[in-house]
Amino acid sequence: MMRLGGRSLHTITRAPFQPRHYRAALNMARVYHHPLPVLYRYLSGAGKYPWDVPVRTPLGTVTPRVFSHAALRTLNEIFCRLDYRVDDSPKVIVDIGSNVGLSALYFLTRNMQSLCYLFEPLTENVSRLEQNLAAFRGRYILDTNAVADTDGMVEFGVESTGQY
C-alpha cells in the first residue's frame, strides 16, 4: 500500500473533505511559533527527532519535546485540531494512557487550577512525560500502572513509537 508521511493514499485523498483538517491548518498559525516547519514535518513525515516545538497556550508558551513523527501528529491533533477541546474551566482531569504527556500539557495549560491524574505504565514514556511536564510538578499525579477493569498482571505489546 502506498504511504506518504505515514498515511495511506486513501486517508490522504479523503482529508480535503474533512473540515477538522482546515481548522487544524488555521490553528497551526496561531499555536506554533514557527508553523511552516511543523506543517512540513506533519505532512511529509520528514525530520529528525527528538524535536522541541514551542506552542502558544492560554498560560504562555510551552515547549514540549516530541520524540517521533507520530508524537508530532498527536501534538497537532490535540493543540490544533482540538480533538480534546475544553474551555478554561476544567479543574480535575483523568488521563488514562498519558503517553509522553502531550494531552496533559494541553489540559494543564487551560488554567492555573487544573489537576491531572495521569496513568502511564511504560517506563520510557514516563521519563518523557516528566520531562514535558516539568513546569507543572505539583499539578499532576502520576500512576505508573496500566488501567483495566480487572485486577491482575497482563503482558501487552508496544509498537516502536510507544504511542499504541
Q: Express each pLDDT in 84-99 by its tens digit.
A: 999 999 899 999 999 9
Higher pLDDT, 7 or 52: 52
The model's confidence at residue 20, banded by pLDDT at 50, 70 and 90, is confident
In angstroms, the CA 126 to CA 121 distance is 7
For the chain, how far is it from start to end, CA to CA, in angstroms? 21
Question: C-alpha dihedral over 121, 125, 126, 128, to 10 degrees?
Answer: -170
- Three cell numbers, residue 94: 483523568
Residue 9 confidence class, pLDDT cut points 50, 70, 90: confident
Reduced to 3 states (helix: H, G, I; strand: E, B; else coil), residue 62 is strand
Q: What is the pTM of this model?
A: 0.86
- What percent of the chain shows pLDDT beyond 70? 90
Residue 3 has pLDDT above 70, yes or no: no
For 42-87, how does the pLDDT look when each residue is reduced to its tens digit (9 = 90+)?
A: 988 899 999 999 999 999 999 999 999 999 999 999 999 999 999 9
Check residue 162 and give its pLDDT.
61
Q: For residues 8 and 6, what is the distance between their CA atoms, to the nearest angstrom?
A: 7
Which amino acid is residue 48, in one-letter code?
K
4 pLDDT band, cuts 50/70/90, is low
**3-state class percentages of the chain: helix first, strand second, coil last, to nearest 5:** 40, 20, 45
Type and span of the H or E element at 27 = helix 19-31
